[in-house]
Structure 1
Amino acid sequence: MKVKNMTIAALALLLAACGNEEILENNESGSTGKVHMTFTAGMPQTRTSLGEDGLAVNWTQGDLVAIYDGTETICKFEATEVSGSTATLEGEAKVTDTYTAFYPYTDDGTLTLDNTAITFTLPATQTATAGGFAEGLNPSWAQATGGSKNLEFQNLCALAKFTVDAEGVTEVTLTANQESDALAGGLTYTIADGTLTATGSASRSVTLTGTFTKGEEYYFVVAPGTLTGGITLNYMGEGGKTYVKTTTKQVTFTAGKITYLGALDANNFTEALNAAFANAVKEFNPNIGWRANPDGTVSLDEDNKFQIIMNGGILDLHNKNITSLAGIEYFTDLEVLICAGNQLTTLDVTKLTNLQTLDCMGNQLTTLDVTKLTKLKFLVCNDNQLTALDVTGLTSLKNLFCSDNQLTTLDVTGLTSLTDLECNGNQLVSLDVSTLKELQILWCHGNKMTALNITHNAYLGDLKCGNQQDNQQLTLTLWDTKKEFWDRMLNRYSDENSNVTTNVIETPVNADHDGYEDDGETVDW
């Protein structure tokens, strides 16, 4: 079932009878004894409604329901002849006295069903749906006895509603503060006493992901229960920033009922480090003295900011599956930041003016502003999606690795301390290295260049400059006294130096340095 024209209220969908009998085909289907039959899901006698009035929940054509008929195989029935909260369920089952039904049907092995208990999985990650919940996210059950084909469904879960008043929301997470509580995951419903209990695969958090529209209402589908330790709600907004609020007051979620969580608004929430970011920092520095929230986020209050500054220096967060480092700007004492191999789409390091090393390779960055990082000596940003990189003011830079991006230009003329430049695999059409007197390693292969002059790079000893895109030929200008050396180097890296021709020019004689000079100094004994 899914909601139609609703602001969802949670339902106990009790489908009362219209008296339909099963439709028997010519014979039983094979050896299973199953025959084609129909069940009726009619107007519920008692329910919390959703619909055009903002409350009714309706069946949808094609909804799949699982029915247990006493055999080992769960029967799959499909909703047909749908009219709002009424539907006919058609499929094949064995003729028996008692039928137990569950929505939604799944054959992925997570659903077990008989006349005494139902075990199913409520997803801990759910898709955001404006004005409702995603299809297949409203577990309900029913039982028909005495051979009846009339099913009165009852909702097994609760709804937690919130309104989006913030911009750029991409993710919202609800967490039970006590680790022993469950909001989703594996659940078992015992029919005799009507209890719903968590299994070992239970989750204390539920996350909504997708597209959120400001002004719309959204719903978590959660397991019912009383959370004596309270709850924490956080959301990710513009720029990947996380905002959080928490309460230690007892919260009860009741099956078939809606609990309103309020509005997502930065004015009512506190900015925080997201849980993945905070956990990675804590793993790297277990002695950091900040106070974390029950959901793993870290509120950026004054006490926690102080702890962040006190524990500055080096921060290694590589390969931690982090999607946002929003809040990194408070780590103002950092000299080394390693965040390679994550899933970052943005990275704001403009306030980290003490950085000397930045390694953010292997992310999904489209922009990177390092113009204020004048102390930077090592910059590694290869394997991203950068289309531009301004390093003109980074005069302390010694190593620049920016390969495998989408750079069309790269001005390194002011980087006179540079010893290692690797900018291969971009879209560069030219590269001026004439001012890089200290350059020792240059990799610029796999671009769109046609010429390269290395006559001003006396210390250069490692060069890859060929294999330009579209089989473009590159002309390498060098001194005649270096030709033999560079011929060996070009052959050494034959793949990276394919399609390279040399333009050999005569080495000029510098008369001023052809012998000894008088430095004008006298030893003072």
Structure 2
Amino acid sequence: MKAKNMTIAALALLLAACGNEEILENNESGSTGKVHMTFTAGMPQTRTSLGEDGHVVNWTQGDLVAIYDGTETICKFEATEVSGSTATLEGEAAETDTYTAFYPYTDDGTLTLDNTAITFTLPATQTATAGGFAEGLNPSWAQATDGSKKLTFHNLCALAKFTVEAEGVTEVTLTANQESDALAGGLTYTIADGTLTATGSASRSVTLTGTFTKGEEYYFVVAPGTLTGGITLNYMGEGGKTYVKTTQKEVTFTAGKITKLGALDIANFTEALNAAFANAVKEFNSNIGWKANPDGTVSLDEYNKFQIIRTGATFLYLQNKNITSLAGIEYFTDLETLDCMDNQLTTLDVTKLTNLTTLICSGNQLTALDVTKLTNLTDLECNDNQLVSLDVSTLEELEYLWCDGNKMTALDITNNAYLVDLKCGNQQDNQQLTLTLWDTKKEFWDRMLDRHSDENSNVTTNVIEAPVNADHDGYEDDGETVDW
């Protein structure tokens, strides 16, 4: 009886052992040997947001870190318990002697990571964040050896700080004057010698976009290095105007260090044409003799303003050039034709271009357009914008008017006797437009409905009886008296 019981017990132990062996084998083949793991990340340098002193960089709950464990797949770890510059990182990885970590984690194919080198991308366009930098910036790395789970992170990039003292800032760009220098883009860090080098996708400019608050500090995250040719800083302020300053002096950005760029204010900057605008003009008119800044902007100093007048043409075609502002167009005083359709303009000041006969600005985001001083206009095409009104009462020579696809509710053409082509309907959100015209123009309007039925939909006419001299029909008193 005793022997029988011992046999049964031995059999049970054998079956249990076989079961455990199967579980272990399945674990190795099914989950590549990765197990739940916890790392501790701490000083001296960490990553997410600047502390109140403007220097210490703290972790943020939910930060994602990439960890290399010797397998083909980069492991994703998340910051869970966070206390200032220390954090607990949790995820799954394989047991090994050496771990290399990198912040931020990404699975978009731009990050490669092993125990010898890290290749990543620092964005050339960054989001403005008051008092610091945006989430996912400020790359840092760490390495744990001998099976340790303690990670001491080190910043791979530098910070460039400035204060906003100007009004209406929407964009700030920092550029290395020398084309071979890199501030962002593809970068590779070699762990053995601690060098960071640019790849073929590097950029010598970094741009901050978003909402800027006057009096606040903002930071570029940039690749470290010595820029022997100096730097250029420009910002876009009120009315879409660009302001620039540049230095040819050598500037050094050091990883883990903050370089002060000073304050953005009109007093220390020069008004300029923005780079997209200037490049488009130069592409269209290669004879223009201005001197451009290293970042492509063109300072509106006396020399360059004279060159615009001297070599500027009477017509300018700037279609689909990704231009956000035409501030400075007022110096192109000889223009008779301006075509800037299909850009990203939100404002357009053409009040000083009194020689214009043709203005084409359709396909932008204009909310207002003052053309009352352009009395020589014969062709105005401002369709597909965001205009809520349009005053053409002073454009007595106007022949072509396209203002369909906006947000207008009314249009008065009683002073436009020479109109031969009109598109004014199909306003956004099915908005009904009321068109005011003389009864002598009713036949003309009926023709426009037949010719441009889609562009003239949702239009109600307000037909009023024409005076004797309306549309230049009948006699007018010219005010002259015979001198006998």
**Shorter chain as normaliser: what TM range?**
0.7 to 0.9
**Structure 2 Cα separation of the partners of residues 333 and 204 of structure 1:** 35
Aligned residues of 2:322 and 2:344 also touching (Cα < 8 A): no
Judging changes above 3 Å, is the alpha-carbon distance between structure 1 residues 134 and 6 closer, same or farther for their aligned structure 2 residues? farther
Deviation (angstroms), 1:55: 2.5
Q: Cα–Cα, structure 1 residues 64 and 20, in superposed 2: closer, same or farther, change >3 Å? A: farther
> Deviation per CA, 1:428-453, whole angstroms, max 9, x where unpaired?
99999999999987889999999999
Q: Does 1:368 align with 2:351?
A: no
> Residues 483, 243 of structure 1: CA spacing in aligned structure 2 closer, same or farther, 3 A cutoff?
closer
What is the CA distance between 1:379 and its match in structure 2? 3.6
- SS of the residue corresponding to residue 430 of structure 1 reads coil
Range 417-426 or range 218-227, more displaced: 417-426
Q: Which moved more, 1:112-121 or 1:256-265?
A: 256-265
3-state SS, counterpart of residue 239 of structure 1:
helix
Partner of 1:379 in structure 2? 359
How far 1:475 moved relative to its partner?
13
Q: Would the alpha carbon gap of residues 327 and 35 (structure 1) be closer, same or farther in structure 2, given more than 3 Å must change?
A: same
Moved more, 261-270 or 7-16: 7-16
**Equivalent residues of 1:15, 1:44 under 8 A apart:** no
* Farther off after superposition, 285-294 or 3-12: 3-12
Q: Deviations over 1:359-407 (max 9, x none)?
A: 344456666666665544334344556676xxxxxxxxxxxxxxxxxxx
Cα drift, residue 163 of structure 1 = 1.2
**Helix, strand or coil at the partner of 2:447:** helix
With over 3 angstroms needed to count, the CA separation of the structure-2 counterparts of 1:309 and 1:25, relative to structure 1, is: farther
Instruction: Give per-residue Cα distances to partners, 1:240-271, cap 9 Å, x unaligned.
Output: 11111111111111111111111112111222
Go from structure 1 to structure 2 and tell me whether the alpha carbon gap of 1:67 and 1:294 turns closer, same or farther (over 3 Å shift). Answer: same
SS in 1 for 2:92: strand
Would the aligned equivalents of 1:2 and 1:60 in 2 still touch at CA under 8 Å?
no
The Cα of 1:288 is off from its aligned counterpart by: 2.3
Greater shift after overlay, 482-491 or 205-214?
482-491
Deviation of 1:331 (Å) = 2.2
Cα deviation, residue 315, structure 1? 2.5
**Cα pair distance change 1:437/1:193, threshold 3 Å:** closer
Structure 2 portions without partners, runs of 5+? none
Q: 1:80, CA displacement in angstroms?
A: 1.1
1:301-353, CA deviations, whole angstroms, 9 ceiling, x for partnerless residues?
22222211111233222221111111222223333xxxxxxxxxxxxxxxxxx
Shift of the 7–470 alpha-carbon distance from structure 1 to 2, 3 Å rule, reads farther
Give the conservation status (yes or no) of the 8 Å contact 1:5–1:54.
no
After TM superposition, the score normalised by the length of structure 2 is 0.74
Shift in Å at residue 124 of structure 1?
0.8
Instruction: Give SS of 1:121's match.
Output: strand
Q: Tell me the percent identity.
A: 91
Question: Paired residue for 2:280?
Answer: 280
Structure 2 residue 319 is the aligned partner of structure 1 residue 318: yes
Q: Deviations over 1:159-209 (max 9, x none)?
A: 111111111111111111111111111111111111111111111111111
Q: For structure 1, which segment, 318-327 or 23-32, has the greater mean C-alpha deviation from structure 2 after superposition?
A: 23-32
Q: How many residue pairs end up in the alignment?
A: 483
Q: Measure, in 1, the Cα distance between the counterparts of 2:253 and 2:473.
A: 90
**Native 8 Å contact 1:165 1:214 kept in 2:** yes
Q: Which moved more, 1:430-439 or 1:248-257?
A: 430-439
Distance 1:35 1:25, change over 3 A: farther
- Looking at structure 1, the residues matched to 14 and 56 of structure 2 have their Cα atoms a distance apart, in angstroms, of 12
Which has the higher mean CA deviation after the structures are superposed, 477-486 or 92-101?
A: 477-486
Higher percent of residues as helix: 2
Secondary structure of the corresponding residue to residue 193 of structure 1: coil
CA deviation profile, 1:192-229 (whole Å, cap 9, x unmatched): 11111111111111111111111111111111111111
- Pairing of 1:37-436 with structure 2 (within 5 A): 37-44=37-44, 51-313=51-313, 314-335=315-336, 357-362=337-342, 374-383=354-363
Residues 18 and 236 of structure 1: is their aligned pair in 2 closer, same or farther, counting only changes over 3 Å?
A: farther
Q: Is the 8 A contact 1:7 1:50 kept in 2?
A: no
Asked if the contact 2:395/2:416 (under 8 Å) is kept, the reply is: yes
Contact 1:48 1:55 in 2 (8 A): no
Tell me by how many angstroms 1:70 deviates.
Answer: 0.6
